[in-house]
Structure 1
Amino acid sequence: MTTSSPTRPIRLGVQIAPQHAPYEKIRDTAAQLEEMGVDILFNWDHFFPLSGPRDGLHFESWTMLAALAEQTRLVEIGALVNCHSYRNANLQADMARTIDHISAHGTGTGRFIFGTGSGWFERDYDEYGYEFGTVGSRLDALARDLPTIEDRWGKLNPAPTRDIPILIGGGGEKKTLRIVAQHADIWHSFSDAETLTRKLGILAEHGAAVGRDTAQIEISVEVGKQSTADADDLRVRGATLFTLGITGPDYDLSRIPEWLAWRDGINAG
């Protein structure tokens, strides 16, 4: 069993679903969450709502992240997750570097997390004219292009302000976890405790195959429907980043104080 790193703090991320709300509401929610003290603000990279009215209000991910980078001062920001299929790999690298610099105001160090995945929402592909392909072909494209993204970061002028963290989402055991072992600084999944233990074992096997110690990777889990007691179980199995999803039109923040208090109690102890 993998255990939490004693040097890695517990962090709380909140995914603000960019659906069913005007942008002003999203902007104000982000400001409120930063004031409350969350560690990371995420959105998602889709073109249509994933729940609620099919054609409800919805906004694009990357342009919003650039605005949040300028608006905020302390929180890290990123997509949970970017869909790799929607943009050229070199362009993604340049966009990420630019947001990294936008977010560096005041400190000189950027706060952007490059969260990415292979994509899955077929409506996005169909209506925006992308080839949907198969699960395997989309994962192969992600594996092929991540080295291109990393290489482009080394060529851009100015360079990123830091080594931009790569977060990879998904739990596929043959391909996704191998990509995680090769490239990720953070791995995100929707695992319960038992599943997390099993998948961390598989991740370690991939790490051994590619020559990487996967204990270096921060483990992130979605806990929107779980309790802090459930999170305690996930924590002892290796998770240190916990994410909650909220959606428009109202963006209910009522559970955030409980999770912040849980985080702070662990980090203080």
Structure 2
Amino acid sequence: MTRPLRIGVQLQPQHADYAQIRDAVRRAEELGADVIFNWDHFYPLYGDPDGKHFEAWTMLAAWAEQTTRAEIGCLVTCNSYRNPELLADMARTVDHISDGRLVFGIGSGWFEKDYAEYGYDFGTAGGRLDALGEALPRIEERWSRLNPLSTRDIPVLIGGGGERKTLKLVARHADIWHSFVDVDTLAHKLGVLAGHCEAIGRDPGEIEVSVGVQDGDLDKAKALRDAGAELITVGATGPDYDLSALERFIAWRDA
């Protein structure tokens, strides 16, 4: 049985002054977004490759103070950029600042420019996924030792659709699985995820199904909802942060 539909927005922290990002956060919460995400990169992903850009986790701390109702998080944190124990502490801290509204999104990383410019070893896709698999238990273990503990069991969102490694990590560690897929692919991936859950004795219904619809296509979103999506996120980029798609999706949710 699917959960009530939730609508998120990814405010991409590129090509904008921070005042414009702050205003977009305010507007997104006022419209009724369930979750407000940024992303964890150091350079824009499109447009001017050396355009304005801001760091994700320091921004989330500011959002935690600015907002009062919406959940917040990265879609998604790159595991490669921070020590797992430090990342666990950062997440616990933002959890407290936000009074328990953090979604801990994480993935293995993919944007080679970030790695090259900031001095991280890019390695291989498989190696980065293995590193994520090693980091997740360390993050969970650190959460159990921090003082004070988090305000709640911080929900873990894992992004990606790899069937052999990523979905196995989702089955073991995630509360939310996020991907960018079409309807047929979603159905197939959900079957694979169910198989990984069965192998470890977990109910796949415990994992919220999250999908990004960056183009704001409401018909696509409705089809994904029918296929099992429970959290659907639209994108908005700087400098203007047009939230008209978010407004349409929220009206659909509320109807």
2:168 matched to 1:172?
A: no
- The aligned residue for residue 26 of structure 2 is 31
Q: Post-superposition shift, 1:208?
A: 1.1
* One-letter code aligned to 2:208: E
Where does 1:45-64 land on structure 2 (aligned, <5 Å)?
45-64=40-59
Match of residue 198 from structure 2: 208
Query: Which of the numbers 120, 129, 147 marks the counterpart of 2:119?
Result: 129
Cα RMSD for the two superposed structures:
0.9
Matched, 1:69 2:64: yes
Identity fraction in percent:
63
Residue 182 of structure 1, CA deviation: 0.5
Q: Aligned ranges for residues 171-250 of structure 1 at < 5 Å?
A: 171-225=161-215, 227-250=217-240
Match of 1:18 in 2: 13
1:227 Cα deviation from its structure 2 partner: 2.7
Write the distance in 2 (CA, Å) between the matches of 1:101 and 1:217: 24
Matched to 1:95, the amino acid is: M
1:253 matched to 2:243: yes
Residue of structure 1 aligned with 2:84, choices 65, 84, 89: 89
What does residue 140 of structure 2 align with?
150
Across the two proteins, how many residue pairs are aligned to each other? 255
Q: Which runs of 5+ in 2 are unaligned?
A: none
In structure 2, the residue corresponding to 1:9 is in which secondary structure? coil
Question: What is the alpha-carbon distance in structure 1 between the residues aligned to residue 218 and residue 46 of structure 2?
Answer: 25
The alpha-carbon deviation at position 226 of structure 1 amounts to: 5.1
Partner Cα separation in structure 2 for residue 233 and residue 252 of structure 1: 23
Provide the secondary structure at the position in 1 that maps to 2:219: helix
| More off after superposition, 25-34 vs 204-213 | 204-213
**What is the SS of the residue equivalent to 2:243?**
coil
TM-score w.r.t. length of structure 1: 0.93
SS at match of 2:88: helix
Q: TM-score, normalised by structure 2?
A: 0.98
Q: What secondary structure, in the 3-state scheme, does the structure 1 residue paired with 2:240 have?
A: coil
Contact 2:215 2:235 in 1 (8 A): no
Structure 1 counterpart of 2:128, which letter? Answer: R
AA aligned opposite 2:168: R
Report the Cα distance in structure 2 between the residues aligned to 1:56 and 1:226, rounded to whole angstroms: 24
Superposition deviation, residue 99 in structure 1: 0.1
Q: Which amino acid aligns with 2:250?
A: L
Q: Is the 8 A contact 2:158 2:176 kept in 1?
A: yes
